[in-house]
Amino acid sequence: MNISPSQYAIIFACLLCTIMVNIGTCSYSQRDKQALLNFKQGIIDPADVLSSWSTQQDCCQWRGVKCDNITSRVTQLNLPCSTILPTYLDEEDKSLCLTGSIYLSLLLVELEFLTHLNLRNNDFLAIQLDSVHSQTCYNLSVANPSHHCVNSSSLRYLDLSYNDNLAINSLQWLSHMSSLEYLYLNDIDLHKESNWLQLVTMLPSLSELDMSGCQLKDLSPSIQYANFTSLRYLSLSANDFHSELPKWLFNISCGISGIKLYSSSLNGQLPKALLNLQHLQVLDLEDNNFSGLIPDWLGKFEHLRYLALDLNKFSGSIPTSLGNLSFLTNLLVGHNKLSGIVSARNFAKLSKLKELDIYSSPPLTFDFESHWVPPFQLKRLVLTFSNPNLPVWLYTQRSIEQLDIYESSFKANGKFWNFVSRMAQVYLKDNSIDVNMSNVLLNSTFIYLSSNDLKGCLPRLSSNVAFLDISNNSLSGTISPFLCDHRMLNGKSNLQYLDISLNHLSGGLTNCWKNWKSLVHVNLGSNNLKGKIPPSMGLLSNLTSLHLHENELDGEIPLSLQNCHSLLIFNVRENNLSGNIPNWIPHDAKALQIRSNSFSGNIPVQICEMSSLIILDIADNTISGHIPTCLNNITALVFNNISYNKLTFFFPIDDSRYYIFEDSLELVTKGQISDYGMNLHFVSLIDMSSNNLSGTIPLQMFSLIGLFSLNMSHNKLTGQIPYEIGNMKNLESLDFSANQFSSEIPQSLSNLSFLSSLNLSYNNLTGKIPSGTQLQGFSALSYIGNHDLCGPPLTKICLQDGKAKDTKPIDEDEDESTFFSWFYIGIGSGFGTGFLGVICAIFLNRKLRHTYFNFLYDLKDRLCAMVDIRMSSFQ
């Protein structure tokens, strides 16, 4: 085939162009690669997530990087952190996530074809925008307040959400992202950005905006219009607005389909202007302070699929117009102040309904025909009812997976338990249920039956049950049949959580724990259980929380429990247990509570190895010896990181949801017994009171600056209170009473500004109570029993040398003397007042005055005559 010169020229030109394009592409690809390597330098990568980011490898092959198939330019960077919640933990573990600084300019400027950036759920601490090929600068980062710059970019998707420690002062840089369509900033601290609304409305292409949990406070309720022309989804939930719904919300893009504003402190009534948003499919206003009636006009949102108005202050009845929302799948109106009747009219056309919450206190009245069959098949149902029987239509629900019934009274026969056995989750709480549980078989995975006045023996469990809370009922009998009868378990138990506390169970703990090795949380407290702790409990190798408190258990704690390596909470308070304090408690344990038993011996030094300990309660035993000098090794009490020591149980319900349970303990703080549940992780306590401890308090104890409560009362401790006690800045409760402390109270004690409970009574303290409003704010009872102590609030006066003046202390004799002094003063005052009243009456009333003086003259004559007669008789 002959090729003409012109064809050669064309071919040559094509080859030249291809070469030039490849050279250019290679050059730009190297530029992208270098930008990513520079970005990597600002990152701390504890899990080596970016190990594939090496100079020897094509950057398009790196983890999280995606390139265009033709140009090989970087278009996407996906580096979210996948954290898995363990069953029991302090907090979500992000120790393996990326941290450090995000050098955003390196990505948005150098990677000019980057359209998708996802750094979700990491632990980045700052965003940096450096002056790289840019023209406009903004003050952005808390970590680096200097001016930073960014140019416009092609970015369409930006997700920085759930970087919980990230704070951003300014969002000015968003104005240069004109192509941005999806913006997710959930849980980033934006409280310093007051102009956020105006800045995000400058993004003309914005389709989805999520700024939930950003500590926003200004919703700009008075602004009429916000330029969200393309917005389809808006979430501003979990902020702190304290306002009514803003006016601009009603004039937002008419095509918006989803609005989420739950848990944002919104108030007022729902304005009818919401009807402007006719294409709404999701309206989530849960957990706010909305009031008034649930409006009838909500029934006009014909496209609505999800309606959440629960946990507000709505009143009145549920409007029947909601029954016309034929596309509705979720109707949540519970936990309001609703009243009235619920009938079939409320659900007339809700054939697609899957979730229904109509909980109300007091309960709503149901008015359904016995043969009524709902048009829906629910997956989740939450209700209360005032009728004496369960609604008959409940049994028509064949697809139900979760049933919640609260504050109702009904009889639970065999039909009911067979019905709920098909469900994965059953929540029954604060009901009055007429049933004997002895022959009931529980089969659901998640079963919560607390506070229902259940009677009889413990029910039987199938191997499906993983969570059982049947606490605070009237169950009786022994626990042996419950634990030892394994006919329904098929040789294996999946039970992880067991709470049968606050019942009337008796007998021993039984030795049948070997078949329950999956248990993580066990609470048998507040029953009538007796005997010893069985050795087989040591086979519970996954156990993290063990509560055996307020029973009648005796003997020593079995050494086999040292096999429970995951134990975080060990609570055996108020039993008859004896022996030494266990020295095998795991180093990661957070709470050791053995108060009110008969433990003896010394405090083992192994306690100092429990670096995560925040609760040490060994009060009311017969423990002797000295306090260990190594307590400063308990680092959880040294570094004041108490808020991170959460004691939370996360039970997986399904792939996306967890049941969150905060463990609880009953503690003695500030002189009173308090139950610490959801706030337990904020408490740090050492209570060694009512023992036989002797010697001095080691100085190392006063380096525990994170301590909230310290009680060493009713021991035999000696020496002086060290000046170093002033280091314990977080101390709120201090009790050193009934010991043998001597010398003066250190001045540094007055520096403890959080101290709200103090007891130094019945020691041998001397001198003047240090001046300062802190120590003078306590009553004299805080210092009573120290005979050589003086100064306010005591009445004993201090001399110039600081010693007490020899005056009579406040006692019963002084109280009696004071009483009689005031008594005589009162009598004298009363007599004087009465006498003056008589004199005034005499002198002001003429007739009475004459009568009075006539009486005096007559009396004078009588006395004179009497005297004369007496004198005559003597003569």
707 falls in which pLDDT band (50, 70, 90)?
Answer: very high
Q: How far apart are CA 766 and CA 745, in angstroms?
A: 8
Average pLDDT score over residue span 343-348? 95
833 falls in which pLDDT band (50, 70, 90)?
Answer: low
Structure tokens at 568: 């975080």
801 falls in which pLDDT band (50, 70, 90)?
Answer: low
Q: Is residue 473 within 8 Å of residue 503, measured between CB atoms?
A: yes
Is 9 a residue whose pLDDT tops 50? yes
Structure tokens at 138: 């903004």
Q: How many CA atoms lie less than 13 Å away from 249 in the CB half-sphere?
A: 25
Side chain identity, residue 18: T
Among all chains, which residue has been given the structure tokens 């307040």?
145
In the sheet with 123-128, reading across from the earlier edge strand, the strands are 43-44, 99-103, 123-128
Q: How far apart are CA 400 and CA 662, in angstroms?
A: 28
Q: How many CA atoms lie less than 13 Å away from 326 in the CB half-sphere?
A: 2
Dihedral pair phi/psi, residue 863, rounded to 5°: -65, -40
Q: Which helix (H) or strand (E) holds 623?
A: strand 622-625
Average pLDDT score over residue span 229-248? 94
Q: How far apart are CA 241 and CA 217, in angstroms?
A: 5
**Environment class of 314 (CB within 10 Å of its CB; exposed 0-12, middle 13-18, buried 19+):** buried
Treating both helix axes as pointing N-terminal to C-terminal, what angle do 812-844 and 846-874 enclose, rounded to 10 degrees?
A: 110
| Strands of 7-68, DSSP E | 43-44, 65-67
Dihedral pair phi/psi, residue 513, rounded to 5°: -85, -5
Average pLDDT score over residue span 215-225? 89
Nearest to 686 by CA among 668, 672, 700: 668
Nearest to 219 by CA among 202, 204, 234, 203: 234
Angle formed at CA 660 by CA 617 and CA 664, multiple of 5 degrees: 20
Tell me the per-residue pLDDT of 286-295, one tens digit each, with 9 for 90 and over.
999 999 999 9
How does DSSP assign 430-482, residue by residue?
S-EEE-BGGG-EE--SEEE--SS--BSSPPEE-TT--EEE--SS--EEESHHH
pLDDT of 138 reads 41
pLDDT of 227 reads 85
Supply the mean pLDDT for the chain.
85
Q: How far apart are CA 404 and CA 401, in angstroms?
A: 10
136 falls in which pLDDT band (50, 70, 90)?
Answer: very low
The β-bridge relationship of strands 233-235 and 258-260 is: parallel
Average pLDDT score over residue span 729-749? 95
Is 642 a residue whose pLDDT tops 90? no
Q: Any idea which of 45-59, 136-150, 191-205, 607-621 has the lowest mean pLDDT?
A: 136-150
pLDDT of 17 reads 44
Angle formed at CA 680 by CA 676 and CA 686, multiple of 5 degrees: 90
Query: What share of the chain has pLDDT > 90, as a percent?
Result: 65
Angle formed at CA 606 by CA 605 and CA 609, multiple of 5 degrees: 115
Is 365 a residue whose pLDDT tops 80? yes
pLDDT of 32 reads 87
Q: How far apart are CA 254 and CA 230, in angstroms?
A: 9
Nearest to 263 by CA among 295, 233, 291, 241: 241
Q: How far apart are CA 84 and CA 99, in angstroms?
A: 17
Structure tokens at 10: 């064309």
Structure tokens at 219: 């919703």
Q: Which residues contact 458 (CB under 8 A, 6 or more apart)?
A: 437, 470, 475, 477, 479, 481, 482, 500, 505
pLDDT of 57 reads 87
Average pLDDT score over residue span 544-565? 95
Average pLDDT score over residue span 141-169? 72
pLDDT of 22 reads 43
Is 805 a residue whose pLDDT tops 70? no
Among all chains, which residue has been given the structure tokens 């200004």?
218
Structure tokens at 221: 């309720």
In this predicted model, which residue has the larger pLDDT, 868 or 311?
Answer: 311
pLDDT of 128 reads 80
| Strands of 395-439, DSSP E | 402-406, 409-411, 425-429, 432-434
720 falls in which pLDDT band (50, 70, 90)?
Answer: very high
Q: Any idea which of 101-105, 317-321, 745-749 has the lowest mean pLDDT?
A: 101-105
Q: Any idea which of 234-243, 612-621, 676-685 has the lowest mean pLDDT?
A: 676-685
**Which ranges constitute the DSSP H helices of 470-577?**
480-484
Average pLDDT score over residue span 209-234? 91
Is 13 a residue whose pLDDT tops 60? no
pLDDT of 680 reads 81
Nearest to 809 by CA among 849, 780, 830: 780
Average pLDDT score over residue span 622-650? 82
Q: How far apart are CA 643 and CA 180, in angstroms?
A: 37
What count of other Cβ atoms lies within 10 Å of the Cβ of residue 748? 17
Nearest to 512 by CA among 537, 541, 547: 537
Structure tokens at 859: 């009396």
Q: How far apart are CA 179 and CA 202, in angstroms?
A: 11
Is 99 a residue whose pLDDT tops 50? yes
Q: How far apart are CA 290 and CA 292, in angstroms?
A: 7
In this predicted model, which residue has the larger pLDDT, 825 or 695?
Answer: 695
| Residue 362: cis peptide before it, omega within 30 degrees of 0 | yes
Q: How far apart are CA 36 and CA 41, in angstroms?
A: 9
In this predicted model, which residue has the larger pLDDT, 813 or 592?
Answer: 592
Q: Is residue 423 within 8 Å of residue 446, measured between CB atoms?
A: no
Among all chains, which residue has been given the structure tokens 């049968």?
500
Is 808 a residue whose pLDDT tops 80? no
Q: How far apart are CA 107 and CA 41, in angstroms?
A: 13
**Alpha carbon of residue 779 to chain centroid:** 33
Is 149 a residue whose pLDDT tops 70? no
pLDDT of 94 reads 85
Q: Which helix (H) or strand (E) holds 128?
A: strand 123-128
**Environment class of 507 (CB within 10 Å of its CB; exposed 0-12, middle 13-18, buried 19+):** middle
Q: How far apart are CA 353 and CA 379, in angstroms?
A: 9
Q: Which helix (H) or strand (E) holds 837?
A: helix 812-844
Q: How far apart are CA 370 and CA 698, in angstroms?
A: 74
Residues 861/862/865/869 CA torsion (nearest 10 deg) = -170
Side chain identity, residue 254: C
Average pLDDT score over residue span 447-456? 96
In this predicted model, which residue has the larger pLDDT, 114 or 644?
Answer: 114
pLDDT of 106 reads 77
Q: Is residue 770 within 8 Å of residue 747, measured between CB atoms?
A: yes
pLDDT of 839 reads 52
Q: Pick the most confident of 29-33, 143-147, 229-233, 597-601.
A: 597-601
In this predicted model, which residue has the larger pLDDT, 500 or 103?
Answer: 500
Side chain identity, residue 800: Q
